[in-house]
Amino acid sequence: MSESKLFSPAKAGAIDLKNRVVMAPLTRNRARAEDDTPHDLHVEYYRQRAGAGLIVTEGSQISPQGKGYAWTPGIYSDAQVEGWKKVTDAVHAEGGKIVIQIWHVGRISHSVLQPGGVDPVAPSAIAANSKTFDGTQFIDTPMPRALEENEIPAIAEDFARATRNARKAGFDGVEVHGANGYLIDQFLKDGANKRDDAYGGSVEKRMRFLKEVMDAVTGAWSADRVGIRLSPFSNANDITDSNPQETFSHAIRLLNTYGLAYLHLVEGQTGGPRDIPEGGDLAALYTLFDGARMGNNGYDRASAVEAVESGALDLVAFGRAFISNPDLVDRLKKKAPLNEPDSDTFYGGGEKGYTDYPTLAENSVAAQ
């Protein structure tokens, strides 16, 4: 019996992939506290997982304003670029491909994480019933400040700068984070965007920030090196929309005009049920996009194989399974058992629960 298509080569725009298993972006909160720079621990973590067809890094803020959690890395300073360069060199030395997820969290932040202790920003002054991590504990996200119309283009330029820095750092591309209730998602969904100017109101106006970001990013690097992540039906970070099918049909039609590397969709609730609300049609959204389609949320070997074999997806992203199985692709190929992840070590800390999960080979040696 021939090997599953899941383990066959693929292309995501200009990026050649050795298989169709993607390491999903996973916030792990281990950047250097003083300057949000990745370091040697990140080098080893990502190197271990270079068997993936593609690694998407943890979300990395495009500016100090874009930061929402303690100890998340950035991609706006020279030191951060140098830190990430060591990561990309290590992944490439192992034959892997890696893109960086670039994000701005918008209202999912706190003044203690913002430069000068200012309020977080958002499309509208509407607080999210959510929490963030300040380095000591989880705290409620506060009322944000609504962005002035003339401030918004500068944020799009921050995305462009982050993209240029990603090129300098040796990444194979970038993934724009447009999901999970962060800034782009806040502009797209009408529960968080109550603006009455050029950036809000009609579904077309709510697309404007997304378009400006994508224009900026694809102006900084060719579109076939750019992917985007969306979560049409997810209410992560207290985000809602009155008609997500309509909203994201518009968004994906817009995105399809760029010739992007891939579209990455969170299917259902982020990290939760895969259920789609009444009126929602995930397959219809995928059909609006001509590039590589990446699905994410709760996939196991069987469902990933089926999705790729059927042609529903080109790529399948795995999250938690990659946390605890650095050799996940090898394990999936061999139908081998998986290590269970330790949720107590997901966020913050050092090597424990980060770089110390054993491979199949190491398990075999230990068993002898």
CB of 49 closer than 8 Å to CB of 92: no
User: Could you give the 3-state DSSP secondary structure of residue 283?
Assistant: helix
Residue with tokens 């109550």: 194
| Residue closest to 144 by CA, chosen among 101, 178, 113 | 113
Q: Which residues contact 276 (CB under 8 A, 6 or more apart)?
A: 233, 267, 268, 282
CA distance 232 to 230: 6
CA distance 318 to 127: 31
CA distance 332 to 93: 23
CB of 255 closer than 8 Å to CB of 207: no
User: Which position among 76, 182, 258, 357 bears the catalytic label?
Assistant: 182
User: Could you give the 3-state DSSP secondary structure of residue 227?
Assistant: strand
Strand partners for 293: 263
Residue with tokens 């169709």: 20
* DSSP E strand stretches across 169-291: 173-177, 226-230, 262-266
299 is catalytic: no
Enter the tokens of residue 263.
Answer: 């579209």
| Residue closest to 265 by CA, chosen among 302, 292, 305 | 292
Q: Which residues are catalytic?
A: 182
